[in-house]
Structure 1
Amino acid sequence: MRKALPDPQIEARRRQPPPETVDPAIEALVHDIIGKVADKWTMLILEALHEHGTLRFTQLGKAVGRISQKMLTQTVRQMERDGLVRRTVHPVIPPHVDYTLTPLGESLGAAFCGVWIWAETHHAEIERARASFAGREAVPQLSEST
């Protein structure tokens, strides 16, 4: 994922202390958004559109790879509903539809760019931890009841 420019509003809020109370509506929205973007297809579509700009439906499917037409349709519809993607139908024969990220979708991509950078920065540490864990799992563990 290419590095996105930081959002000045978000960066200003990061410098402030956390709020004393949390608005339940905001908390519910955060849980909803995390649930959706944690879905691998949403993240892959977000990344494909961020990298390539506007794509036709079939191009988007190829850019994402290994996604069924049904899942691609469901995911882009949900993203359109949430205001992350703009769907444009061209009235030609045969008709074609293309998708592009909205400014809201771009800003979500920028927010998750930090996760990409974090993973890139800590890749070696994560691989060492996984190898260490796998090594411990290979050794029979003593039962907790003994």
Structure 2
Amino acid sequence: MSLQDSQSQSLQDTSKSANCTAMSDVLNRIGDKWSVMVVGILGQNGTLRFNELKRMINGVSQRMLTLTLRNLERDGLVTRTIYPEVPPRVEYQLTELGKTLQKPITALWDWSSANHGSIMDARSIYDARSEALAASEPRKVAYVRG
């Protein structure tokens, strides 16, 4: 068994605080909205330039995309290639490690698409029930001495 395999198996024991911290660190990176979008879009489209990515990801700011790409590069999921041209051309693509995320992210993407309507319905029911409950409770009045 390799060192990586034994570390992977040892991380599965979430009763240990260090394992939970390690798992949280990884899941926080790959589970944030923009990272999922970047990995998903690079997985579908291959190599892309910054502005191509920005156009494909609705709502992401230039700063947030820059930070997301930098963090994904730091974690070994994305490579950044700079070509010495005027103006410089910079391209991003998934690494081999990044490509291993394609299947789980595609599954998450598909699940989100298939279940979005049901989630919106559940939210409406929950919100209506919460509003009705709040309306039925007696109002508490606070008096201020002046």
Normalising by structure 2, what TM-score? 0.71
1:96 Cα deviation from its structure 2 partner: 0.8
* Corresponding residue number in structure 1 for 2:129: 136
Q: From 48, 66, 69, give the equivalent of 2:62.
A: 69
Q: Cα deviation per residue 1:31-63 (whole Å; 9 max; x = unaligned)? A: 112212332221221122122111011111111
Query: How many residues are treated as equivalent by the alignment?
Result: 126
Tell me which moved more, 55-64 or 114-123: 114-123
- Give the direction of change, closer, same or farther, for the CA distance of 1:56–1:21 in structure 2 (3 Å limit): closer
* Corresponding residue number in structure 2 for 1:103: 96
Structure 2 segments unaligned to the other structure (5+ residues)? 1-11, 139-146
* Corresponding residue number in structure 1 for 2:3: none
* Corresponding residue number in structure 2 for 1:39: 32
Question: Which of 1 and 2 has greater Rg?
Answer: 2
Contact map agreement 2:14 2:20 (CA 8 A) in 1: no
Normalising by structure 1, what TM-score? 0.71
Q: What is the letter of the counterpart of residue 63 of structure 1?
A: M
1:69 Cα deviation from its structure 2 partner: 2.2
Cα RMSD (Å):
2.5
Structure 1 segments unaligned to the other structure (5+ residues)? 1-18
- Give the direction of change, closer, same or farther, for the CA distance of 1:20–1:85 in structure 2 (3 Å limit): closer
Q: Cα deviation per residue 1:59-102 (whole Å; 9 max; x = unaligned)? A: 11111133222222111011001011011111122211000011
